[in-house]
Structure 1
Amino acid sequence: MIIEGIVLRGREFEPVEGRVVVEDGEIAAVEEASVDGTAIVCPAFVNAHTHIGDSIAKEAGEGLSLSELVAPPDGLKHRLLRAADREELVAAMARSLSYMEQSGTGAFVEFREGGVDGVEAIRAALEGPDLESVVLGRETVEAMERADGFGASGANDADFVAERRATREAGKLFGIHAGEVDSSDINQALDLDPDFLVHMVHAEELHMDRVADSEIPVVVCPRSNCTTGVGQPPVEALTTRTTVALGTDNVFLNSPSMFREMALTAQLYDLSAREILRMATVNGAEIAGIDGGLVEAGQPARLCVLDGDSDNLCGVHDPVRAVVRRAGTADVERVVLAG
């Protein structure tokens, strides 16, 4: 497979005219050359924090607090998940996964409610799309053992010491929500030495210093935080201390569109387009422990190819800024996934 156009190459997303050569699901070469194509070729996005099970309840719960919406065990989300039958749940997740693929996402990290049954349900939903998935089970150690790791709700909900120990012994990924509503659970979460933290809306200097000292990466979800009204994480400060990635969080709060997540991040924070694109691609891949997120030889062929001649993108002078601030799902010409 050969894809021609403006290629956003490497970690700096250097725009080069040329072609990407794909062989056996891997990028074999990125070649500079004069080409006729107008496509913009960038890495497929890595959505570093999702709750895909919420697909059964999009836009439910208007006016409820965050605790009323998602707090285990009886938040609205958990009640709706318990009430849904498996066929309904799998079908709704499959639709969201299909949308994610259509909108340029190549991989995602899922916090999967429902114990073992929840893990098996999303595995069933993944039988269609070629997305790379990192599924973190919740609620039980057995769910972690059947998944790719454990995704903890928050240190105020439980101490998670046993789950952290079991996950470490299994050599799997451990992530935990922290600092979403207030700062009271951040130190407890850090004490668990997680592989990554999610949200950190209310992180203070002492917490960010601990993050830097421990080299613990953070996934932020600005649109979700806006929707629930909890505030915004100190993203600029976090990026000076650790690796930061973007996630779209609960599907019932927001669409799992990384284009929308990047655009809002660009409006809220004084960050370069390149930094934000890294947050949406390679940073998430590194946190998840998977390859990808870059267009360079030796990487998996997970690519988002945009129509540079679309009515929206025609005339763009800076393709990196265009991907981050302007592009949308309608501009996606094709998505190439290594699977």
Structure 2
Amino acid sequence: MKIEGTVLRGPEFEPVEGRVVVEDGTIAAVEEASVDSDDVILPAFVNAHTHIGDSIAKEAGEGLDLDALVAPPDGLKHQLLREASREEKVEAMRRSIRLMETTGTTSFLEFREGGVEGVYMLREASSGSSVAPVILGRETADAMEAADGFGASGARDGDFSYERNATAREEKLFGIHAGERDATDINPALDLDPDFLVHMVHPETLHLERLEDSGIPVVVCPRSNLVTGVGTPPIAELVERTTVALGTDNVMLNSPSMFREMEFAAKLADVTAREVLRMATLNGARIAGLNCGVVEEGHDAKLLVLDGDSDNLAGVQNVVRAVVRRAGASDVKEVLL
């Protein structure tokens, strides 16, 4: 199989005219050549932080603060999750996964509420989809056993040493929320030596130095942070010190669209479009241990093809900048997952 157009090649997303050769689901070659195509070929997205169970409650909770919205056990999202039937939750998640699939997301890292049953529900919702979730169980060690790892709510909510040690023994992922409301839970989270942190809206100088020393990646969710009123993460400062990926967080608050997250992050932060695209693709893949996120020989052919001659993209002068700041669902021509 050969896909022709402008290829955003390698981790620097160098725009080259040519084709991507795919064999048995793997990128066999990226060939430079003169081609008759306006298409733009880039790696499919990896959404590095989601809570898609919240798909049952889109845009609920107007005017509520973060704790009232999502804090366990009595935040609004948890009330609504308890009230919804299993069938309602599975179908709502299935529809969010379908949206991710049609907009070019190949995988997402899900902090999955509901214990073991929550893990099973997400596996059911994603069955038959080309989108492969990386599921981090919550609430119980059994959920971690059934999932791909454990997603901790935050060091302020308890001691997660047992779960961290268990994931390390089983070589599974351990992620934890940190620095979302304030800085008080960042050091305890870093002390756990997690595989990644989520949010980091309020890091102080010491925390930034520890990140740089440890190399622990961070997933930022700027749209969510703005909606919940906690502020926005210092993306440029984080990027200077460690690997940073993008997530869309709660579907209750924002659509799981990486196009929207990229545009917002790019216009918010003093970082290049290339860095933002890397945050939405390769960096998330690296955190999850996936062999995708880059158009390069030997990597999985998880690709997104945009119509470069769409009314929205025709005439762009900077392809990478246009993909990050301008492209959207209506520009998607083909998704190969």
Does TM, scored on the shorter chain, surpass 0.5?
yes
Following the alignment from structure 2 to structure 1, what is the Cα–Cα distance between the partners of residues 234 and 264? 14
Give runs of aligned pairs for residues 1-339 of structure 1, distance below 5 A: 1-337=1-337
Deviations 1:195-248 (A, max 9, x none): 100000011110111111111000000000111110011111111110000000
- Give the secondary-structure state (helix, strand or coil) at the position aligned to 1:164: helix
- Give the secondary-structure state (helix, strand or coil) at the position aligned to 1:156: helix
Q: Percent identity?
A: 70
Task: Provide structure 2 residue ranges, at least 5 long, that are not aligned to the other structure.
Answer: none
Following the alignment from structure 1 to structure 2, what is the Cα–Cα distance between the partners of residues 202 and 156? 15
Following the alignment from structure 2 to structure 1, what is the Cα–Cα distance between the partners of residues 202 and 272? 23
- Give the secondary-structure state (helix, strand or coil) at the position aligned to 2:157: coil
Following the alignment from structure 2 to structure 1, what is the Cα–Cα distance between the partners of residues 81 and 137? 15
Following the alignment from structure 2 to structure 1, what is the Cα–Cα distance between the partners of residues 20 and 198? 34
1:2 CA displacement: 1.3
Following the alignment from structure 2 to structure 1, what is the Cα–Cα distance between the partners of residues 81 and 108? 20
Question: What TM-score, normalized by structure 2, do the two folds share?
Answer: 0.99
1:301 CA displacement: 0.8
1:190 CA displacement: 0.8
Following the alignment from structure 1 to structure 2, what is the Cα–Cα distance between the partners of residues 306 and 293? 16
- Give the secondary-structure state (helix, strand or coil) at the position aligned to 2:159: coil
Following the alignment from structure 1 to structure 2, what is the Cα–Cα distance between the partners of residues 266 and 284? 17
Deviations 1:98-122 (A, max 9, x none): 0011111111111000000000000
Following the alignment from structure 2 to structure 1, what is the Cα–Cα distance between the partners of residues 301 and 201? 34
1:71 CA displacement: 0.6
* Residues 126 and 132, structure 2, Cα contact 8 Å, conserved in 1: no
- Give the secondary-structure state (helix, strand or coil) at the position aligned to 2:82: helix
1:36 CA displacement: 0.6
* Residues 4 and 37, structure 1, Cα contact 8 Å, conserved in 2: yes
1:132 CA displacement: 2.5
Following TM superposition, the consecutive aligned residue runs of length 4 or more in structure 1 with deviations greater than 6 angstroms are none
1:78 CA displacement: 1.0
- Give the secondary-structure state (helix, strand or coil) at the position aligned to 2:276: helix
Aligned-residue CA RMSD (Å): 0.7
Deviations 1:251-278 (A, max 9, x none): 0100001111111111111111101100
1:128 CA displacement: 2.4
1:168 CA displacement: 1.2
Following the alignment from structure 1 to structure 2, what is the Cα–Cα distance between the partners of residues 42 and 319? 11
Q: Which amino acid aligns with 2:120?
A: E
Aligned length: 337
Larger CA deviation: 204-213 vs 194-203: 204-213
Q: Which amino acid aligns with 1:244?
A: V
Following the alignment from structure 1 to structure 2, what is the Cα–Cα distance between the partners of residues 281 and 28? 19
Q: Which amino acid aligns with 2:317?
A: H
1:163 CA displacement: 1.2
Q: Which amino acid aligns with 1:277?
A: L
- Give the secondary-structure state (helix, strand or coil) at the position aligned to 1:207: helix
Following the alignment from structure 1 to structure 2, what is the Cα–Cα distance between the partners of residues 79 and 188? 28
* Residues 94 and 128, structure 1, Cα contact 8 Å, conserved in 2: no
Question: What TM-score, normalized by structure 1, do the two folds share?
Answer: 0.98
Following the alignment from structure 1 to structure 2, what is the Cα–Cα distance between the partners of residues 128 and 50? 20
